[in-house]
Structure formats: structure tokens, C-alpha cells
Structure 1
Amino acid sequence: MKWSLEGKWIATGFGLVMTLMGGISFISYQNATRLAESASQVRQTHEVLETLLGILSALNESEAGRRGYILFNDRSELERYNRTVQLIDPKLSRLQALITQDKAQQQQLEALRKLIAQRLDLAQQSIRLHQKDATVRSTQTALMVASTRNRQTIQSLVDAMQQQEQQALERSVSQSQANIKLRMLLEFLGTFLTFLILSSIFALLYRQMVKRQQAEVLQQKMVQEKELSDLKLQFFSMVSHEFRTPLSSIVGSAQILDETLYPLVGKQKLKSLYRIRSAAQVMTQLLSDILTLARADAGKLECNPTLVEMQAFCLNLLDDMQPLSKLEHSMQFDIQGACTYAYVDEKLLYSILSNLLSNAIKYSPNGGTIDLTLNCEPKLLTFQVKDEGIGIPTETQKNLYEPFRRGRNVGGILGTGLGLAVVKKCLDLHHGDIAVESQVDGGTTFTVKIPQEIG
């Protein structure tokens, strides 16, 4: 199946939309994942900080119990010390589980373990010394100094660990926010592009729908025009057939009367008979022109060339046109060239030349000479019809071959403006060409050229 250009655009647009929607979904998923990771990291950081605070608190609590026991010799304070010491290892284990991904913090945790073990060892020495001899103060003082120094070191290490954890959290949150903003921008751009592409696809689909509707309307009009053209052709064919019979009778009767009365009556007395015969022939030509145009408009006018002897054809044509001249025009025929036969459609050629000669007679009201020249060559057939009539205005020559077009200088000369339209239709079927040279009151010359490609 061959796709049209618009179909390819629509398919490409849908592909881009699906790609963009997939990209937007992936970015949204990454945003959600990043938010979940950030929330998890925030919780982990808070738990690390709370655990560190818990370790410090337990150390301080154990130190308070140790001091209470040494100062007041209270066994409950010793128990308090022992309970608190038991809470430190679980907190260290929890802290180690929380910072498994950070090697630096793991090293700091290891240092913290050693410091706590050292501190607890100092506390145990102090307790054992007190239990052995409660009156010894110098040794207790030295242990207290070492314990104080140890506590400060632990505090500094815990503060450093807390600060690093907070800084890591801030960096992570900042990077996460930047990534989320970038992804949100990409989501917005993707959504905008998706909307733009969908709008373009909708516009293309709407345009195709409008074109299809226009094509359907045009097709319906063409069908209606064809039906109307067929009806018009049927009507004109019927009218032409019905009128040709009485007109043929009129022309035949007039010719018989002319042949019968000519030896008995002078030409001047036969003018009315000539008028009858001429009017009947004009009516016959008019019907023929209307039928030819109707058939051409309906696409039923065909060109079927045959081999025709041109000199005899032209002489017979002039004989048929002679009654229209009213004995006021001199009709001359000249043949040039080497060939005698040509491939033409005899009926169409008769319509072409008879209309040109009829116009030459009609628009030469003061008489004069009408020349028909034939130039017969092997590849080109040329006819020239020249008169000494009223001429054709320049502005009329542009639309000369349109139906019902007549010059503004025709005055009261009767005519329909169909003759040259028929000439053009018949000549187009021959793939021929026509040219005109004319001046107002200076006569007109039509040149018809028909190529000889057949035969």
C-alpha cells in the first residue's frame, strides 16, 4: 500500500507522540524514584543523627552512674551504669548498618568504637579501684582526667560525623532538587511538543476530511453535470433531428424551384427564393453548431481521421457556401503544395471551414472577395480564409473563441457567436492551431494548421 505524504506525516506524528509520551512517563518515573530515594535518605540521615545522639546520651548516662556510684557508693547507680553500657553496642551496630555505603564514615565509626571501648575501660578501672579502696583519690583523679580527654575526643568525632552526614544530606537534596527541576522542564517540553504534534495531526486529519468532503461534493457536481450534459445532448440531438427534416425539405424544395424557374424567370425575381434557401441553410448550420458544442461539452465529440482528397473537398464546400453569398461576394480557391490527400475527420473539418467561410460572408456586408487557400504538405495541412469585411477589434480577439463572444462593431448583423467556438472545439480534437490577423474595417484572415501525424 502506497501512503500519501499527509498519511506519512500523520504516521510519523503518532510515532513521535508515542515516543514523547514514553519519554515523559520514564522521566516521571525517575522523578518519583528520586523523590522516594531522597525521602529514604532524609530518614536515614535523621536516624544516623538520632543514633549518634543516643550513643552520646548513653555514654553520658553511664558516666553519671559511674560518678554516682563512686561519690555516694550507691549500688543503684552502679546498676544504672551497667544497664546503660549494655545499650551502647546495639546502637553502634545500628549505626554501622546505616552507614555501610560510606567508607569514610565506616572508618570514623571504627575510631568511635575504639574510643568508646577505651572510655568504658577507664570507667571499669575506676569502678574496680573504688571497690578495692574507696579512699584512694590520686589514681581516680588520673582516670578522670583521661576519661575527660576521651569524652572530648568522642564528642569531636561525633560532631564531625553529624556534620558530614548533614552536608551529605544537603548535597543530595540540592542535587535531587536540580534533577527534579530539569526533569520537570523536560516533562513540560515533552507535554508541549506532544500537544503541538497532536494539534498538527488533528489539523491534517481535519484538512483531509475537508478535502474528502470537497472531493465528494465535486464528484457529485461532476455526476450532476454529466447527467445534465447528457440530457442537454439528448435534447439538442432530438431538436436537431426534428428540425433537420423540415429544413432539408425546405432546402430541397428551394433548389428544385431554382432549377425549374431559373430558365423562365430572371435572377432578380428569384431573390426571395434565394433568401428562403439561405435562411434554411443558416438554420441548419446553427443546429449543427449547437449539437457540436453539446457533444463536445459531454465528451462525446470524437475525431476519426480518414484519407480525404482535399481539392474536391474544398470545391464541394465552396459550392455549399455559394448560396449564402447572395451573389454579392466573389469566392476564390487556391491550392498550394505537393500533396493531394490528407488524414482528417471530414465532418469536423467541414464544421471548421464552413463556419470560417460563413463568418467571412456574414461580416462582409458590402461584398468583396473571399479567399480560401489550401497549402497541403506531408506533415502539415494549412488553410487560410481571408475576407475584406468589418474586421475584429483587438480587445475582442483575446476571447474570440468563447461561446457568444462577438465584436462591438457587428452592429445589426445577425449572429450567435457560436461559430468560432465550434471551430476551436473541432480543431482541438485535430491537435491543430488557429491564428487571426484582423483590423477594424480592414478585413480578417484566419489561418488554420492541422498536423499530419496519422497515416
Structure 2
Amino acid sequence: MNWSREGKWITIGFGLVSVLVGFVSFSSYQNATRLITSADQLKQTDDILNALTDISALLADAESRRWSYIVFGDPQDFEQYSAAIADIPPILDRLEAPLSDTPAQQERLQQLRLLVAQRIQLLEQSILKYQDDLGAIASDDPLVLATRQNRIQIRQIIEQMEKEEESLLQNQVERARTEFQFRMLIEPLGTLLTFGILLAVYALLLRQMMKRYDAEALQRTWAQQKELSELKLQFFSMVSHEFRTPLSLILGSAQLLDETLKLQVEPAKLKNLHRIQTAARSMTRLLNDILMLARADAGKLEFRPEMIELQTFCLNLIEDLQVFSQTQRTIQFSKVGDCTHAYVDETMLYSILSNLLSNAMKYSKPSDTVYVTLQADPDCLMFEIRDEGIGILPEDQDKLYQLFSRGRNTQDIRGTGLGLAVVKTCVDLHHGQIKVKSGIGAGTTFTVTIPQPLPPVHQATPALAQDADPFNADP
């Protein structure tokens, strides 16, 4: 009887243990199953977010390649543009299945398809329109406005889809957390720790995967930009080299003809010969500006400062401009300060002053005087170039130093929009500043400030003093 009662209790206890073990095992199995389902949902949501990010990146890359192709005409840019466009439809197709159970997201996806198709059409239209006429690009152009509106709409749709997916992701995470906390009360401590560690490892792996993806994307972008800069530099170097030889021959031949004929022919009849010389010099200067900007963009523009005599340098530069000018211009030069020499890159300083003086002469009347003031102090150089020309519109002053940027009141005057970009690049390499003060019809004043290095420390050996970089020397 007693054994039978004990046997019953053993049986009941064994049964209870079996039930508890079975319940715990079932709970663990159910928990594992739910974790797998949640992981799949998280992965699906993560894939959707990555796909949306890829679409934005491909559209941005396509637009960048499109502009590069319009400006430089490089077929490789057009191939990369076409490749980016071709990669977008498969990504959109890949989003169909994950979003099929969400009507709102499915509707947004269809809207996104239409907007992307419209965006591609606008990009193709812009290539056809602007490829042969860069001057047609304007902020109020209907095509530019339509592209901007389309870009805003695509961004809004993608942001809405991302917010929806992030909300679903948050709900999934919260639901999984709640269920996990409930089951954590009935599972053994080992099971709790095991699943806790697994969850932490999963979160860490997910975070690490996202960081790796971002780092790889950033590295790819940097490599593409570096490759593009290298290609641009190679292209411009090749173009500059190919053009310099015939230009030198043209200029040399024109000068030889001028020297030969000026004693035999009336000066008025040599006008066209002088035009040839002026055009050849202008083309050479344009090639120099383009090559300098390309080297600066690729990070290969060398800065080589040296001591120069300021007044002689300025007078020679002014004489060059007056000799090569098609009309006689008055340039008044004045110097303030006791310093006679300065530590600068002579080639870059020549580019700075020649571009500013050329603009002052170009945008003022032949009868107007251009004023050049040099203030030479031991710690700083200041050049002030003032003209009495047409002036610069206030709304154009913020973009003066951008490539190909020209004032709206200069459309009837020939120019490339490169000169001030070259000036800004050279001033920045000197660690200097450039300021402008202008009014319509009241002339323009450019002020360039270039800091001068401190004198070398007397205790330094001559070799060290010669090799040191004065701009970075400790005081």
C-alpha cells in the first residue's frame, strides 16, 4: 500500500517533471521558432531598407555621371551612368515580394516606379539638351525645375517607405522582446543566458554588418572619385600637351612675321596678326588654368614658395598685361610698406594677379583706370585691385569662385568662368583670403591677403632652416 502510494507519487512526480520538462522544451522550441521567424522578418526589413538606400545611391550616382558626361564628354562616364540606370529596375522588382502583404507600401512602390521612370526620362532629356550647349543650364530652366521636383518626390516616397519599414521593424523588435521576457521566467537560467548571448551576438553581427556595408560603400565612392580625378588630370594633361605645341608654333610664327613686317608694312595692316598673337596667348592661358584646376582637384598641384622681389614682379606683370592687351589701358600701381621681398609661389601669385587684373580690364571701359595697391608688411601681403567697371550683382557674389560661374550682367562679354576659381585655389594654397566689394555701376574691388611666415629661428642650422616649411614652423 505504502509502496503503491510512493509509486504513485513517484509516478506523479515523474509525470510532473516530464510535463515541466516537456513544457520547458516546448517553450524553448517555440521560442527558438519565433526567434527564427523574427530574424527572417528583420532580415527582410533590412533588405528592404538596403534596397531603398541602393536606389537613392544609384540615382545620385547616375545624376553625377550624367553631369560629368555633359561637362567633359567622357564616354566612360556615360557607360557608368547607363550601368547605374540599368541596376535600378532589378532592385525595384526585388521589392515586390517583401512588400506584397502591405498595401500601403505596395502603393508607394508603384509610385516610386513611376517617379524613377520619370527621373530617367528627365536625365536623358538633359543630356540631349545640355551636351552641346552648357550655357543653356539655368536654375529657372523648366527641365531643371522638373528634375528638382522629381528628386524631392522620390526622396519623400523613399523616406515614407523607410519610416514604415522602420516602424514595422520596431514593432517586431518590441513584440519579440515582450515574448522573450515572458518565457524567460519559466526557462532555466542556462536557457536564458544562452538565448541572451545569441540575441546579443545577433545584434552585434547585424551592427557589424551595417558598419562594414557603410565602410565598403564609402571606400567604393572614394575610389571612384579618386579614379575620376586621375582620369580628368590625365585627360587635361594630354589636351594641354597636344595644344601647346601648335599654339607655340602659331605664336612664334606670328611674332616672327610681326618682327619681319613691322618695318615694311603700316601698323594698321598688322592688326589681324596681332589678333592671332592675342588669341594664341589667351588659349595658352586657358589651358594653363584648366590644367591647374585639374591638378588641384586631383591633389597634385605643387606649392613651391620662394623669395621674390615684389615691386619688380608687379611692374613686370602689369607691363605684360598692357603689352598683350588689344587696347591701351591705364593701370596705376602703388606700394605701401617697407618690405621689398615676400615668400610666395611666383607662378601662383602671377595667376592670382593676372586673372584679377584681366577681369578688371575686361569689365571696365577702355578709358577707365585700374588701380593696383600693394601693402607689404612683415607678417602679411595685401593686394587690392580696384576698377571702375560694371560691378557684380549681389546675388552673384556668393558663387563667384565656382567653376564656370559668371555674373548675369556679363553675358555679352566673352569669358570662361575659370579665372576666379583659379584665383581662389591659389589663394587657398597660400593659406590666404580673398574678399570682394562691388556695386552695380560702381566698380569692383578685390582684396587678396597672403600671410607671411615668421623668420626662421636663429639657432637652427642653415640646412634645417632651408628645408623647413615656414608656413608650418613653430613660433
User: Do both proteins adopt the same fold according to a TM-score greater than 0.5, normalized to the shorter chain?
Assistant: yes
After TM superposition, the structure 1 = structure 2 runs for residues 39-118 of structure 1, keeping only pairs within 5 Å, are: none
SS of aligned partner of 2:399: coil
> SS at the partner of 1:409?
helix
Report what 2:298 is aligned to.
Answer: 298
Whether the 8 Å CA contact 1:309–1:341 is kept in 2: the answer is: yes
Distance 1:259 1:365 in 2: 30
Query: Greater relative contact order: 1 or 2 (C-alpha under 8 angstroms, separation 6 or more)?
Result: 1
Separation in structure 1 between the aligned mates of residue 249 and residue 286 of structure 2, nearest angstrom:
17
| AA at the equivalent of 2:435 | A
Shift of 1:245: 2.2
User: Relative to 1, partners in 2 of residues 1:253 and 1:372: Cα closer, same or farther, differing over 3 Å?
Assistant: farther
What residue identity is the alignment partner of 2:282?
Answer: V
**What one-letter code is carried by the residue in structure 1 that aligns with 2:311?**
Q
Hey, what does 2:370 align to over in structure 1? 370
Distance of aligned partners of 1:447 and 1:417 in 2 relative to their CA distance in 1, 3 Å threshold? same
Q: CA deviation at 1:302?
A: 1.7
Q: 1:403 matched to which residue of 2?
A: 403
Q: Report the AA paired with residue 223 of structure 1.
A: A
Residue 384 of structure 1 is matched in structure 2 by 384
Note if contact 1:361-1:370 (Cα within 8 Å) is conserved in structure 2: yes
Instruction: Determine the structure 1 residue equivalent to 2:434.
Output: 434
Deviation per CA, 1:271-300: give whole Å up to 9, x if none: 323322221111111100100010001110
* Distance change >3 Å, CA 261–CA 396, structure 1 → 2: same
Change beyond 3 A, Cα 1:365–1:253:
farther
Written as runs of structure 1 = structure 2, the 5 A alignment for 1:256-335 is 256-262=256-262, 265=265, 267-335=267-335
Q: Quick one: percent identity of the two aligned structures?
A: 59
Partner of 1:45: none
Asked whether the 8 Å contact 2:292–2:301 carries over to 1, the reply is: yes
Distance 1:219 1:207 in 2: 18
Give how far 1:231 is off.
2.3
Distance 2:192 2:420 in 1: 63
Stretch moving more, 344-353 or 256-265 = 256-265
For residues 229-265 of structure 1, give each alpha carbon's deviation from its aligned partner in whole angstroms, at most 9, with x where no partner exists: 2222122112212212222233333334444444555
Q: Could you tell me how far apart the structure 2 residues matched to 1:330 and 1:192 are?
A: 89
Whether contact under 8 Å (1:364, 1:388) holds in the other structure is yes
Report the counterpart of residue 342 of structure 2 in structure 1: 342
Q: What's the counterpart of residue 213 of structure 2?
A: 213
Residues 195-237 of structure 1: CA distance to partner in whole angstroms, max 9, x if unpaired? Answer: 7886676455334322322322222232232223222212211
- 1:319 CA displacement: 2.0
Q: How does 1:115-264 map to 2 (within 5 A)?
A: 186-187=185-186, 202-262=202-262
**Counterpart secondary structure, 2:339:** coil
Query: For residues 438 and 184 of structure 1, do their structure 2 counterparts lie closer, same or farther at Cα, with a shift above 3 Å needed?
Result: closer
Give the Cα–Cα distance (whole angstroms) in 2 for the partners of residues 328 and 195 of structure 1: 88
Q: Which moved more, 1:381-390 or 1:315-324?
A: 315-324
Alignment-mate amino acid for residue 353 of structure 2: L
Residue in structure 2 matched with residue 353 of structure 1 by the alignment: 353
User: Could you tell me which amino acid in structure 2 is paired with residue 399 of structure 1?
Assistant: K
| 1:268, distance to aligned residue in structure 2 (A) | 3.9
Tell me which moved more, 239-248 or 349-358.
Answer: 239-248
Residue in 1 that maps onto 2:36: none
Whole-angstrom distance in 2 between the partners of 1:278 and 1:189: 91
Rg comparison, structure with higher value:
1
RMSD: 3.2
Judging changes above 3 Å, is the alpha-carbon distance between structure 1 residues 334 and 215 closer, same or farther for their aligned structure 2 residues? same
Alpha-carbon distance, 1:267 to partner: 4.6
- 2:327/2:366 contact within 8 Å kept: no
- Matched residues in 1 for 2:262 and 2:424: separation? 39
Amino acid in structure 2 at the alignment position of 1:331 = I
With normalisation by structure 1, the TM-score equals 0.55
The Cα of 1:396 is off from its aligned counterpart by 0.9
What is the count of residue pairs matched by the alignment? Answer: 280
The alpha-carbon distance between structure 1 residues 212 and 242, as it changes in their structure 2 partners (threshold 3 A), is same
Deviation at 1:329, TM superposition (A): 2.1
Residue pair 1:371, 1:386 contacting (<8 A) in 2 also:
yes
**Does the Cα contact within 8 Å between 1:438 and 1:445 map onto a contact in 2?**
yes
The structure-2 alpha-carbon separation of the partners of 1:184 and 1:388, relative to structure 1 and needing over 3 Å to count, comes to closer
